[in-house]
Amino acid sequence: MRIQKELVDQIARKTVTALIDGDFLVWEDRPEKLMAIVTDIITEDLMVEDQLNEEVRLLIESRTKDYERDMMDYGRVFQMVKTKLARERGLIL
């Protein structure tokens, strides 16, 4: 995950505060509980790209055992495979 946990917490806090203060949301429980829920949702969403990166890395490694890694532009192949998998899965990165 590229964003630090403190920033995710800050985004969740500001989002929840804006929703409750702006009367866009009626929340009868403690605001901290909603902030935890929003933080979990944001973190989970950000982890999707990390999981995709790991999957792409493993896929490329498993398919290129017979080839010299120096013979290919790893960064370019990685990005192409990642873009294709994201498109197939309907992910927005």
54-93: pLDDT as tens digits: 999 898 888 776 556 556 677 888 898 999 999 999 988 7
Place of tokens 């013979």: 71
The pTM assigned to this predicted structure is 0.67
pLDDT of 2 reads 74
Q: How many Cβ atoms sit within 10 Å of the Cβ of residue 12? A: 20
Model confidence at 17, pLDDT cuts 50, 70, 90, reads very high
Long-range contacts of the stretch 31-38 (C-beta < 8 A, 24+):
35/9, 36/12, 38/12
Which residues, including other chains, have CB under 8 Å from residue 25's CB and lie 6 or more apart? 19
pLDDT of 35 reads 95
43-64: pLDDT as tens digits: 998 899 899 999 998 988 887 7
pLDDT of 74 reads 77
State what percent of residues in the chain have pLDDT above 90. 53
Are 35 and 13 in contact by the 8 Å Cβ rule? The answer is yes
Token digits of residue 25: 């949301």
